[in-house]
Protein backbone atom coordinates (compact mmCIF):
# COMPACT_ATOMS: atom_id res chain seq x y z
CA UNK A 1 0.00 0.00 0.00
CA UNK A 2 1.58 3.27 -1.12
CA UNK A 3 1.01 6.35 0.96
CA UNK A 4 -0.62 9.07 -1.13
CA UNK A 5 1.77 11.66 0.33
CA UNK A 6 4.91 9.67 -0.53
CA UNK A 7 5.54 11.70 -3.70
CA UNK A 8 6.02 14.89 -1.66
CA UNK A 9 8.40 13.35 0.86
CA UNK A 10 11.93 14.70 1.21
CA UNK A 11 13.24 11.13 1.28
CA UNK A 12 15.44 11.75 -1.77
CA UNK A 13 17.50 13.88 0.61
CA UNK A 14 18.37 10.69 2.46
CA UNK A 15 20.51 9.58 -0.47
CA UNK A 16 23.74 8.04 0.72
CA UNK A 17 22.77 8.09 4.41
CA UNK A 18 23.30 4.96 6.47
CA UNK A 19 20.22 4.24 8.55
CA UNK A 20 19.99 1.49 11.17
CA UNK A 21 16.30 0.65 11.47
CA UNK A 22 15.40 -0.93 14.80
CA UNK A 23 12.17 -2.92 14.72
CA UNK A 24 10.51 -4.05 17.97
CA UNK A 25 7.80 -6.59 18.74
CA UNK A 26 4.70 -4.48 18.26
CA UNK A 27 1.69 -5.35 16.13
CA UNK A 28 2.66 -2.23 14.14
CA UNK A 29 5.71 -4.11 12.83
CA UNK A 30 4.03 -4.38 9.42
CA UNK A 31 4.28 -0.58 9.05
CA UNK A 32 8.05 -0.81 9.53
CA UNK A 33 8.24 -2.68 6.21
CA UNK A 34 6.62 0.29 4.45
CA UNK A 35 9.02 2.61 6.28
CA UNK A 36 12.04 0.56 5.18
CA UNK A 37 10.79 0.73 1.60
CA UNK A 38 10.39 4.53 1.78
CA UNK A 39 13.90 4.97 3.16
CA UNK A 40 15.42 2.75 0.48
CA UNK A 41 13.49 4.54 -2.29
CA UNK A 42 14.90 7.77 -0.88
CA UNK A 43 18.41 6.45 -1.45
CA UNK A 44 19.30 5.47 2.12
CA UNK A 45 21.37 2.39 2.87
CA UNK A 46 19.23 0.63 5.49
CA UNK A 47 20.41 -2.10 7.85
CA UNK A 48 17.68 -3.61 10.04
CA UNK A 49 17.98 -4.83 13.62
CA UNK A 50 14.94 -6.74 14.88
CA UNK A 51 14.24 -7.76 18.42
CA UNK A 52 13.49 -11.46 18.78
CA UNK A 53 9.86 -10.53 19.53
CA UNK A 54 9.63 -8.60 16.26
CA UNK A 55 11.04 -11.57 14.36
CA UNK A 56 8.21 -13.72 15.76
CA UNK A 57 5.65 -11.30 14.31
CA UNK A 58 7.26 -10.71 10.91
CA UNK A 59 9.94 -12.58 9.02
CA UNK A 60 13.35 -10.88 8.89
CA UNK A 61 13.47 -11.97 5.24
CA UNK A 62 10.95 -9.23 4.41
CA UNK A 63 13.38 -6.55 5.63
CA UNK A 64 16.31 -8.34 4.00
CA UNK A 65 14.50 -8.23 0.67
CA UNK A 66 13.33 -4.61 1.02
CA UNK A 67 16.73 -3.28 2.12
CA UNK A 68 18.99 -5.72 0.25
CA UNK A 69 21.00 -6.11 3.46
CA UNK A 70 21.30 -8.80 6.10
CA UNK A 71 19.05 -8.42 9.14
CA UNK A 72 20.37 -8.76 12.67
CA UNK A 73 18.16 -10.53 15.20
CA UNK A 74 20.28 -12.58 17.60
CA UNK A 75 23.36 -11.28 19.40
CA UNK A 76 24.88 -14.74 19.40
CA UNK A 77 24.92 -15.61 15.71
CA UNK A 78 28.26 -16.24 14.04
CA UNK A 79 29.68 -13.21 12.24
CA UNK A 80 32.34 -13.11 9.54
CA UNK A 81 34.18 -10.11 10.93
CA UNK A 82 36.27 -9.84 14.07
CA UNK A 83 34.24 -6.77 15.04
CA UNK A 84 31.11 -7.49 17.12
CA UNK A 85 27.98 -6.91 15.04
CA UNK A 86 26.43 -4.36 17.38
CA UNK A 87 29.62 -2.27 17.22
CA UNK A 88 29.74 -2.55 13.42
CA UNK A 89 26.12 -1.40 13.20
CA UNK A 90 26.67 1.42 15.70
CA UNK A 91 29.66 2.67 13.70
CA UNK A 92 27.80 2.27 10.38
CA UNK A 93 24.85 4.43 11.46
CA UNK A 94 24.40 8.02 10.36
CA UNK A 95 21.13 7.66 12.31
CA UNK A 96 19.43 5.06 14.47
CA UNK A 97 15.68 4.94 13.82
CA UNK A 98 13.52 2.71 16.03
CA UNK A 99 10.03 2.10 14.66
CA UNK A 100 7.94 0.65 16.13
CA UNK A 101 9.43 1.13 19.58
CA UNK A 102 7.88 -0.81 22.45
CA UNK A 103 7.72 0.17 26.12
CA UNK A 104 10.31 -2.54 26.80
CA UNK A 105 12.85 -1.15 24.35
CA UNK A 106 12.30 2.42 25.54
CA UNK A 107 12.91 1.21 29.11
CA UNK A 108 16.06 -0.66 28.04
CA UNK A 109 17.41 2.47 26.37
CA UNK A 110 16.56 4.72 29.32
CA UNK A 111 18.14 2.39 31.84
CA UNK A 112 21.21 1.37 29.86
CA UNK A 113 20.19 -2.28 29.63
CA UNK A 114 21.94 -4.20 26.87
CA UNK A 115 19.94 -7.43 26.66
CA UNK A 116 19.53 -7.53 22.87
CA UNK A 117 21.34 -6.36 19.74
CA UNK A 118 19.17 -3.27 19.32
CA UNK A 119 19.86 -2.01 22.85
CA UNK A 120 23.58 -2.68 22.36
CA UNK A 121 23.56 -0.68 19.11
CA UNK A 122 21.79 2.18 20.90
CA UNK A 123 24.36 2.21 23.70
CA UNK A 124 27.31 2.06 21.29
CA UNK A 125 26.27 4.57 18.63
CA UNK A 126 27.19 8.24 18.48
CA UNK A 127 24.61 8.81 15.74
CA UNK A 128 21.37 10.76 16.31
CA UNK A 129 18.48 8.60 17.51
CA UNK A 130 14.82 8.88 16.50
CA UNK A 131 12.22 6.72 18.27
CA UNK A 132 8.63 6.13 17.10
CA UNK A 133 6.62 4.49 19.90
CA UNK A 134 3.71 2.13 19.28
CA UNK A 135 1.71 0.60 22.10
CA UNK A 136 -1.62 0.55 23.92
CA UNK A 137 -2.64 4.04 25.07
CA UNK A 138 -2.67 3.01 28.75
CA UNK A 139 0.86 1.71 28.39
CA UNK A 140 1.99 4.83 26.55
CA UNK A 141 0.54 7.16 29.20
CA UNK A 142 1.86 5.12 32.13
CA UNK A 143 4.12 7.25 34.36
CA UNK A 144 7.01 4.77 34.02
CA UNK A 145 6.93 4.92 30.21
CA UNK A 146 6.60 8.71 30.22
CA UNK A 147 9.51 8.99 32.68
CA UNK A 148 11.65 6.82 30.39
CA UNK A 149 10.73 8.98 27.39
CA UNK A 150 11.59 12.14 29.37
CA UNK A 151 14.94 10.63 30.37
CA UNK A 152 15.77 9.83 26.75
CA UNK A 153 14.68 13.27 25.54
CA UNK A 154 17.04 14.85 28.07
CA UNK A 155 19.82 12.75 26.53
CA UNK A 156 19.05 14.05 23.05
CA UNK A 157 16.85 11.26 21.71
CA UNK A 158 14.07 12.58 19.47
CA UNK A 159 10.58 11.09 19.36
CA UNK A 160 7.90 10.85 16.70
CA UNK A 161 4.58 11.42 18.46
CA UNK A 162 2.31 8.36 18.15
CA UNK A 163 -1.01 8.87 16.41
CA UNK A 164 -4.43 8.86 18.03
CA UNK A 165 -7.08 6.44 16.84
CA UNK A 166 -8.27 2.86 17.01
CA UNK A 167 -5.59 0.56 18.35
CA UNK A 168 -5.06 -3.11 17.50
CA UNK A 169 -6.48 -4.08 20.90
CA UNK A 170 -9.77 -2.36 19.99
CA UNK A 171 -9.31 0.63 22.30
CA UNK A 172 -9.26 4.23 21.10
CA UNK A 173 -6.44 6.55 22.09
CA UNK A 174 -2.87 7.66 21.56
CA UNK A 175 -0.43 4.87 20.77
CA UNK A 176 -0.70 4.04 17.08
CA UNK A 177 2.60 4.11 15.21
CA UNK A 178 2.88 7.39 13.32
CA UNK A 179 2.43 7.23 9.56
CA UNK A 180 5.58 5.82 7.90
CA UNK A 181 5.75 8.89 5.63
CA UNK A 182 5.87 11.16 8.70
CA UNK A 183 8.57 9.00 10.29
CA UNK A 184 10.60 9.18 7.05
CA UNK A 185 10.16 12.97 6.99
CA UNK A 186 11.39 13.30 10.57
CA UNK A 187 14.31 11.00 9.76
CA UNK A 188 15.31 13.39 6.97
CA UNK A 189 15.13 16.25 9.49
CA UNK A 190 17.85 14.54 11.55
CA UNK A 191 20.19 15.54 8.75
CA UNK A 192 18.95 19.11 8.64
CA UNK A 193 16.64 18.60 5.71
CA UNK A 194 12.93 18.12 5.23
The three-class DSSP label of residue 21 is strand
For 77-133, how does the pLDDT look when each residue is reduced to its tens digit (9 = 90+)?
A: 655 665 667 899 999 999 999 999 999 999 999 999 999 999 999 999 999 999 999
**pLDDT bracket for residue 12 (50, 70, 90):** low
Kindly state the average pLDDT of the residues 146-153. Answer: 98
For 164-178, how does the pLDDT look when each residue is reduced to its tens digit (9 = 90+)?
A: 877 777 777 788 999
Residues marked active site are found at 169
pLDDT of residue 85: 77
The three-class DSSP label of residue 169 is coil
Farthest-apart Cα atoms in the chain, separation = 48
For residue 28, give the H/E element and its range: none
**pLDDT bracket for residue 4 (50, 70, 90):** very low
C-alpha dist (Å) from residue 120 to 73, 99, 124: 12, 16, 6
| Domains observed in the chain | 6-189 (3.40.50.1950)
Q: What pTM, to 2 d.p., does this model score?
A: 0.90
Kindly state the average pLDDT of the residues 15-32. Answer: 96
CB 50 within 8 A of CB 71: yes
Pairing of strands 172-176, 45-50: unpaired
**pLDDT bracket for residue 194 (50, 70, 90):** very low
The three-class DSSP label of residue 97 is strand
In whole angstroms, give the CA distance from residue 139 to residue 14: 33
Amino acid sequence: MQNQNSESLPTERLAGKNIVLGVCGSIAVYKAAELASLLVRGGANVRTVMTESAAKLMSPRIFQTLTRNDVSVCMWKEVESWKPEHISLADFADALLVAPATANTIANFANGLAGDTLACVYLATKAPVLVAPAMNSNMYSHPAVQANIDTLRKRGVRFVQPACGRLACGAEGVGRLADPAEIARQTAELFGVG
